[in-house]
């Protein structure tokens, strides 16, 4: 996707996930210490969904102003 934000792997691992409050690098399955892309994707989906909602609100406000 051309609009996706590019992170370095190190930056990404140390970024706090706003969905669950853990670092992205600490996303693991229950009872496992292995990084889980699936757990991360769940959070990414939640973050993206709230981001999309915010964008929708912004564009609605812009329409109301004009």
Q: Which residues bind Zn ion (CB under 5 A)?
A: 17, 19-20, 43
Q: Is the dihedral of CA 61, 62, 63, 66 positive or negative?
A: positive
Q: What is the spatial distance between Cα 49 and Cα 55, in angstroms, rounded to a whole number?
A: 10
Pick between residue 52 and residue 58 the one whose CB is nearest to Zn ion. Answer: 52
Smallest gap from Cβ 16 to Zn ion, in A, equals 9
Q: What is the spatial distance between Cα 66 and Cα 3, in angstroms, rounded to a whole number?
A: 27
Angle at 22 between CA 56 and CA 5, to 5 degrees: 45
Pick between residue 41 and residue 58 the one whose CB is nearest to Zn ion. Answer: 41
Pick between residue 12 and residue 20 the one whose CB is nearest to Zn ion. Answer: 20
Smallest gap from Cβ 39 to Zn ion, in A, equals 7
Smallest gap from Cβ 64 to Zn ion, in A, equals 34
């Amino acid at each position: 996707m051309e609009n996706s934000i590019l992170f370095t792997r190190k930056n990404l691992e140390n970024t706090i996930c706003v969905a669950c409050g853990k670092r992205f690098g600490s996303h693991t399955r229950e009872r496992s210490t292995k990084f889980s892309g699936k757990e991360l994707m769940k959070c990414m989906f939640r973050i993206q969904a709230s981001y999309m909602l915010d964008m929708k609100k912004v564009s609605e406000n812009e329409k109301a102003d004009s």
